[in-house]
Each structure stands twice: as C-alpha cells, then as structure tokens.
Structure 1
Amino acid sequence: MESLTNRQKKALETREKLLKTSLELFNKHGFEHVSIDQITKACHVSKGTFYTHFPSKYDVILEKFKELDSFYSTVEKTINHSLPASEKILILYEEQMNYLTNVVGKDLLRTVYTAAMTNHVEQEHYLISPQRKIFQIINSYIAEGVQQGEFRPDLQVTQIQAIIQRCMRANVYDWLIHNENFDLATQMAQFTAIVLDGMKLKND
C-alpha cells in the first residue's frame, strides 16, 4: 500500500477538523442554527474547502453514520446463524444500543435527531433510509423468520420491518429525553422482545 503524500495527509487532517468542529457546533447551537460560514471560520478554511470534503452540512452527519454501519457489519459476523430470527434481532439491537450509549453518546444522537426534524434536510433522512446497513441486516433476519414460519403469516414483511425499525427509533428517542437512569440496552431489549412476541406465529 502506497504511503500518503503530505498533501493527502493535510487533506485528511482538514476533513477530520471540519467533521469534529461541525459536530461540536451542531451540539452547542443546534443543527439548524449553524451555518457553513460558522464552521469554516472556526476551522480557518474557505467555504470551497468545506465543499471539497462535504456537499452539505447534512453530509457531516452522514459521515458519522458510516462509522456506525461499519460497526454493524462487524457485529453481524459474530451472531450465530442457527439462532431464530427474533433472537438475532435482539442480539443486534443490544449491541447497537450499547454502542450508542458507550461510544456515540447522547450529544451526537441529539444532533442527528434534531437534524432529522429540520427543513435543512431535503432528501430522505438517513435515520429511515433503507440503505442503512442496520436495516439491511434486520430486514434479512425478518425475511428469514417469515420464510421459516417464525412470524405470523397475516403480516407482510414490510409491516414487520416498519414495526421493528420504529422500536429502535422510539427507544433511542426515549433515552435522549430521559435522565441517566434510563438504561437504553435494557429498555430496548424488553420493549422489542414484547413486540416481537406479538408478531410470532403461536402454536396451539
């Protein structure tokens, strides 16, 4: 692998500085109240430099989610393939909630959820994008559960997908508005297990 040139190293450093500074400003002032001018002035770079690295300030948020997607791919490989689909979903969500709590943190998640509710985001928000790795993994588990007769036949795959995705967003939102006594991983596991149980095919 070829080593980076000084120019390439400088570009990476600038990108990282823009990313870090943007997120700090979003958290401090709110996503909708931070302009690209503010970001570039704080970093002592031009607006052209910002646009070289990020098409918009929304893309700064997306950059952090790419890190999350890499994590989900790693977790997927550790889950026992012989487990029922519902158990795989619970394991994946548990790992996700622990990661959000211990690595990502409330500050960044609040910024993401705030960005999702502003008019600055014109395209479909990444929180609900079917392209997210977490949803692709979950959807594969759901399809597997339907095929194996684990879930009720009267439910469409898309219905189950929507319900399970809402479990995730609802619990994360609750975590963001509660105090530190709210254990995200525990609450997520309890809530999602109940929802999954209601969608399973019952054997008389």
Structure 2
Amino acid sequence: MESLTSRQKKALATRQKLLKTSLDLFNKYGFEHVSIEQITKACHVSKGTFYTYFPSKYDVILEKFKELDSFYSTLENKIDPLLPASGKILELYQEQMKYLTTVIGKDLMRTVYTAAMTNQVEQDHYLINPQRKIFQLMNIYIEEGIQQGEFRQDLPAARIQAIIQRCMRANVYDWLIHSDDFDLATEMAQFTAIVLSGLKNNQ
C-alpha cells in the first residue's frame, strides 16, 4: 500500500477533526442546536472545507454510526447456521445491543435518534435504509423462517421485518430515556422473543 502524501495526511487530519468536534458539540448542545458555522469556527476552517468532507450535519453522525454495518458484516459468519431463523434473529440482536452499549454509547445514539426526528434528515434516513447490512441479514433469516414453516405464511417477509425493526427501535428508545439500570441486551432479548413468538406459524 502506498504511503499517504503530506497533503493527504493533512486532509485526513482535517476530516477527523471536523468529525470529532461535530460529535462533541452535538453531544454537548444537541444536534438541532449546533450549526455548521459553530463547527467550522471551533475547527478554524471555512464552511467550504466542511462541505468538502460532509454534505450535511447528519452525514457527520452517519460517518461514525456506519461503523455498525462493518460490525454486522463480521457477525454474519459467527451466527450458528443450525439455529432456527428466530434464534439467528435473537442472536443478531443480542450482539447488536452489546455493541451499542459498549462501543457506540448512549450519547451518540441519542444524537442519531434526535436527528432522525428533525426535518434536517431525508425521509429515507439511515435508521430505516433497507440497504443496511443488518436489514439484509434480517431479510435472509425471515425468508428462511417462512420457507421452513417457522414463521407465519399470511404475512410477507417485508411486513415481518417491519415489525421486528420496530421492536428493535422501541427497545433502543427505551434504553435512551431510562437510567443506567436498563439492561438493553436483556430487555431486547425478552421483548424480541415475545414478538417472534407471535410471528411463528402455530398451525
């Protein structure tokens, strides 16, 4: 691999500084209360420099949050292929919740959810983008569950996925508004198991 030139190193450093400063300001003042001008002043760069690296404030958050999708890619080969589809979904969510609590953290997740509820975010925002790795994996498991007769036959895979996604977002939201005694991984496992039970084919 070729080494970076001094110009490339400077550009990378500027981008990282913009990313860190933006996230720090979002956490301190709230996403909707921080302007791009505040970010650029704190970094001593122009607005044009900011837009060179990030199309919008929300893209700053996504840059950090997209680390999740790299994590999901590593999970794909770790989930036991002999588990039923519901078991694979539970294991996927368990690992996701552990990652959110130990790596991503509440501050960034609060910022992501706050930003998603403002008019500064496009309609098909990252939290519900079907191209995300976790949703692609979920669809594989759901289709598998339908084909093997584990899940109900009267609901399409897309509808089942929408229900399970709401389950995930509801638990994460509860985690964000509760104190630290809210165990996200445990609550997610219990709640998701109940939801999955209702989606199973009982015939």
Give the TM bin, normalised by the shorter chain: over 0.9
Aligned equivalent of 2:3: 3
For 2:151, what is the secondary structure of its paired residue? coil
Aligned equivalent of 1:139: 139
Aligned equivalent of 1:102: 102
4+ residue stretches of structure 1 with deviation over 6 A? none
Aligned equivalent of 1:56: 56
Identity rate of aligned residues, in percent? 79
Unaligned runs of 5+ in 1: none
Aligned equivalent of 1:181: 181
Aligned equivalent of 1:202: 202
Aligned equivalent of 2:24: 24
State the 1:2 CA deviation: 0.7
Residues 34-183 of structure 1 mapped to structure 2, 5 A cutoff = 34-183=34-183
**Distance across 1 between alignment mates of 2:60 and 2:196:** 34
**Distance across 2 between alignment mates of 1:181 and 1:61:** 26
State the 1:134 CA deviation: 1.1
State the 1:153 CA deviation: 0.9
Residues 115-124 or 178-187, more deviating: 115-124
TM-score w.r.t. length of structure 2: 0.97
**Distance across 2 between alignment mates of 1:123 and 1:161:** 19
What is the RMSD of the two structures over their aligned residues, measured on CA atoms? 1.0
Deviations 1:61-83 (A, max 9, x none): 11112211000111111111221
**Distance across 1 between alignment mates of 2:147 and 2:54:** 41
Unaligned runs of 5+ in 2: none
State the 1:122 CA deviation: 3.0
Q: How many residues align?
A: 203
In the alignment, residue 152 of structure 2 is paired with which amino acid? R
